[in-house]
Amino acid sequence: MRVYNFSAGPANLPLEVLEKAQKELVDYGQAGMSVMEMSHRSADFKEIMEDAKALLRKLMNIPDNYKILFLQGGASLQFAMVPLNLKKNGKADFINTGAWSKKAIKESKKVLDVNVIASSEDKTFSYIPEIDETKLQKDADFLHITQNNTIYGTRYTQLPDTGSVPVVADMSSCILSEEFDVTKYGIIYAGAQKNVGPAGVTIVIIREDLIGNAAESVPTMLNYETHSEADSMFNTPPTFAIYIAKLVFEWLDKNGGVKAMQKVNEEKAKMLYDYIDSSKMFSNPVTPKDRSMMNVTFVTGNEDLDAKFVKEAKAQGLCNLKGHRSVGGMRASIYNAMPKAGVEKLIAFMKEFEANN
């Protein structure tokens, strides 16, 4: 029996995608072998790679002057690759909205002078800070944001105006969940294991003029130019993860694309937040205008009751609802693959739990 998996990542995948992968696992197409076994230089895999890129370009309306790279190392490696490749004047602006922002800041500090122009740490990252645009450095190499904050359940709904300074966004937990104007970003990067596919592949969408500027001292594998010139095949790419990502892109495309998915995601999030706001037991700590559509955090205010809730929910087939260890409470990650029925079942259980406790 499949459960409703509310894990923040690795997260649930569309059942249709898993079933197709299962069907093709032993023999892909007419290849007589699994995608896991085939050469990344083969015609079959090159077709998978090209289809994946073309579908992602269509789904996100990515302009021709942006390259799509399929890399490894997760978003965590991008924390280092971004400053190594974009270093020009030796300084960057950051907005600190949580644990992942802090990790990105730490890596950039090894390479650049980092200017944290705003932070929401004063209220446990429960809001997106207002930006004083006079604090933006006109000669910064980039401004970095974490578009959606998985742990705290916050997201950006508008970007600061940075002029000619490229905006770099970690979209690991919100890519493909809503429509984004790619032209407003210099680089978008995302670990796949939340909204795209299994862990192992990282998507990087990068404006072409930001490629080829790394210093000679930057290691070959950490240079975007290496991967751009080799079409993401400088070394063996994570072939199976790219294949699953392609199936997810096909599933999205077939179901109306990102616009249709955004509508469903807005409905799911509204249902859950509306119930939490009406509840006498549960509450959400996030400033309403900054609430994430993907990661809904909530608490009872009592740690023992929170633990009881998580345990009893699991028995009902509602799994991985425990909040991140740094903040506690509960978190329902309701990515694209979470059906509305899963959210409805969660709300029904929350009502029952509240009545009984």
Nearest 5°: CA angle at 104, between 100 and 107? 140
Share of the chain above pLDDT 90, in %: 95
pLDDT at 163: 92
pLDDT digits (tens, 9 = 90+) for 271-324: 999 999 999 999 999 999 999 999 999 999 999 999 999 999 999 999 999 998
- pLDDT grade for 38, boundaries at 50, 70 and 90: very high
Check residue 30 and give its pLDDT: 86
Q: Which two three-digit tokens encode residue 38?
A: 């085939």
pLDDT at 328: 81
pLDDT at 85: 98
Pairing of strands 66-71, 202-207: antiparallel
Amino acid in the structure at residue 88? K
pLDDT at position 89, please?
Answer: 97
Residue 335 CA: distances (Å) to CA of 197, 211, 339, 341: 11, 31, 9, 13
The mean pLDDT value for 317-339 works out to: 93
Q: What does pTM read for this prediction?
A: 0.97
Tens-digit pLDDT profile for residues 103-135: 999 999 999 999 999 999 999 999 999 988 889
100 has catalytic annotation: yes
pLDDT digits (tens, 9 = 90+) for 165-191: 999 999 999 999 999 999 999 999 999
pLDDT of residue 1: 84
Specify the pLDDT at position 326. Answer: 77
| DSSP string for 43-106 | HHHHHHHHHHHHHHHHHHT--TTEEEEEESSHHHHHHHHHHHHH-SSSEEEEEE-SHHHHHHHH
194 included as an active-site residue:
yes
Q: Which of 90, 102, 108, 98 is nearest to 129 (CA)?
A: 98
State the amino acid at position 127 in one-letter form: Y
CB neighbour class for 32 (10 Å; exposed up to 12, middle 13-18, buried from 19) = exposed
Closest CA to 322 of 312, 335, 332, 337: 332
Active site includes 246?
Answer: no
Catalytic residue selected from 93, 170, 290, 306: 170
Give one word for 335, left, alpha or beta, with left for phi > 0 and alpha for psi -120 to 50: beta
**260 exposed, middle or buried (CB, 10 Å; 0-12, 13-18, 19+)?**
exposed
Choosing from 53, 67, 87, 194, the catalytic residue is 194
Between 30 and 80, residue with greater pLDDT: 80
Contact 130, 118 (CB under 8 A): yes
For residue range 217-267, list pLDDT tens digits in order: 999 999 999 999 999 999 999 999 999 999 999 999 999 999 999 999 999
Q: What angle do CA 110, 115, 121 make, to 5 degrees?
A: 100
> Which residue is catalytic, options 67, 87, 93, 100?
100
User: Quick one: pLDDT at residue 327?
Assistant: 83
In whole angstroms, give the CA distance from residue 171 to residue 188.
Answer: 7
- The pLDDT mean for the chain works out to 96
